[in-house]
Structure 1
Amino acid sequence: MVDNIEKIKALLSFESEDDFYFLQVLQRKKENESTANRVIKSYFIKSMEHLDQVYDEVKQLCELFHARAMIRLNKRSFYKTSFKALVNISNALSNNDFKNVSKQYEKACGQYHNDSDKTWIVDIDGPVEEGFIKKIGEVINTCAPEGEKVVTCLPSNSGWHLITKPFNLHRFKEFGYTLDIHKDNPTNLYIP
């Protein structure tokens, strides 16, 4: 079981009523061989209180559907997401894709963030020693811009998600590491 709620709460900030974080309960094919990837439920988290209110339900859905709760750590804007959704709806209509019109708001949530204080995810798969994770963090901190860029390290189902501030990817690759680096992907909130 992975429960990252307390570490993730420390990473969230709500500065206006326009801010939200996009949380989804996802059933993934690789964990449920008989089904395709599918979204069980999406949440638009408006405050810490809202997250606390829905968290028991999120965990129950994860357990019921053998799914995981994933949250994007770069906050979204209701205002900007709505306009992106309108563009997506227009594109779907112009392509005669009428059956997917209802999915365009959630699609917009996944496409666009509104966070000036961005975070990235360095995906470290497999069992690794703590020293390896520390070494990766040290390498990232030597990349421009100067300063501490490692925010936290979260366990995942098959390894670790190192949460960082943006850094120079070209410089990082010079060290020879071939890790996946995600600029706006979700991280694990809860896995039963």
Structure 2
Amino acid sequence: RELEGILNNNNAEGGVKVLDRTALILDIFAQHAHTREGALQVELAQYEYRLPRLTRQWTHLARQAGGAAGRGGIGGVGLRGPGETQLEVDRREIAARIAHLKKEIEKVRAHRRRYRAQRQRSAIPVIAIVAYTNTGKSTLLNTLVGSQAVLTADQLFATLDPTTRRVTLDVHGKRPALFTDTVGFIQKLPTTLV
């Protein structure tokens, strides 16, 4: 359950940052995103989470700008127009940023699809290591590879980006396979973060 109203009041009064479950998960994701795609996805999720909550943040600034916007009454492209509230400006800017992030993520995904197609043509088996967060998936991959190829830490979502490594399955080095360390599951993950 989201507790936005209560949290907004507590944040304003106590000077202590109080987060709901979704905001906390997004904060953890932001700290652990190490690849371009991961960082883009986290930023997108943060903006999509923030957009519907803007109304509660700008009630004290709900005044409309009258006349021409900009310095000295001179309007310009992207500046606040007549009758446009700060809330409307922020919504428009966030919507534009969301659209930009989606385009950037699609470029990264297209690049990843090319690599996936290349792996499929090689006919090497691909095995995904799947489990809840903080259960040792990265440690298992490092053990199979025989090195510290992937960051391991006793913390939630230490891995936010899937990592694939080549592993030899027999002693003679004749049976290669690709093992992928995946992002861990968490119960009751908000659907907007999937």
| Same-fold status (TM-score > 0.5) | no
Higher share of residues assigned strand: 1
TM value normalised by structure 2: 0.29
Higher share of residues assigned helix: 2
